[in-house]
Amino acid sequence: MPIAAKIKIGDLVLEAEFFDTPCAVAIAAALPLDACPQEWGDEFYFTVPVAMLRDETATVRVKVGDIGYWPPGNALAIFFGPTPVSTGPDPVPASEVNLVGRIVGDAALLNKHKGAKLIRIE
């Protein structure tokens, strides 16, 4: 059963959910998280206090609104549009991410918050 969460950045609040996988549950257990997001194209990413290996969900095929965990950097990635290695409208991570959740709603709204200094997931 998915775990409900909220992503807050600036004045934007987006509903999200984390999946029922060991990696996603570990991240949800670490909430709330406050971080200074880095950007890679239309992706926010930031380190989280969770160390996991790639799992059966690991992929480079993600969609706008997906939330992934990037094992090499212990980082959470929120995809809201193309990244520098995209060849179309879909985001492409730098390498495989564990799919841990998704935004429920319009992830493209995150575009208006590029340059933000703080993101909170609760």
pLDDT in 10s for each residue of the chain, 122 residues = 899 999 999 999 999 999 999 999 999 999 999 999 999 999 999 999 999 999 999 999 999 999 999 999 999 999 999 999 999 999 999 999 999 999 999 999 999 999 999 999 99
Alpha-carbon span 83 to 41, nearest angstrom: 4
pLDDT score of 102: 98
- CB proximity list for 11: less than 8 A, separation 6 or greater: none
Domains and CATH numbers, the chain: 3-121 (2.40.100.20)
DSSP H or E run through 24: helix 22-29
pLDDT score of 91: 97
Q: Are 74 and 33 in contact (CB under 8 A)?
A: no
pLDDT score of 1: 84
pLDDT score of 34: 98
pTM above 0.85, yes or no: yes
pLDDT score of 113: 96
Q: What does each C-alpha distance from 106 to 24, 111, 112 come to in angstroms?
A: 21, 10, 12
Do the strands 33-35 and 38-39 form a parallel or antiparallel pair, or are they unpaired?
Answer: unpaired
Q: Are 115 and 28 in contact (CB under 8 A)?
A: no
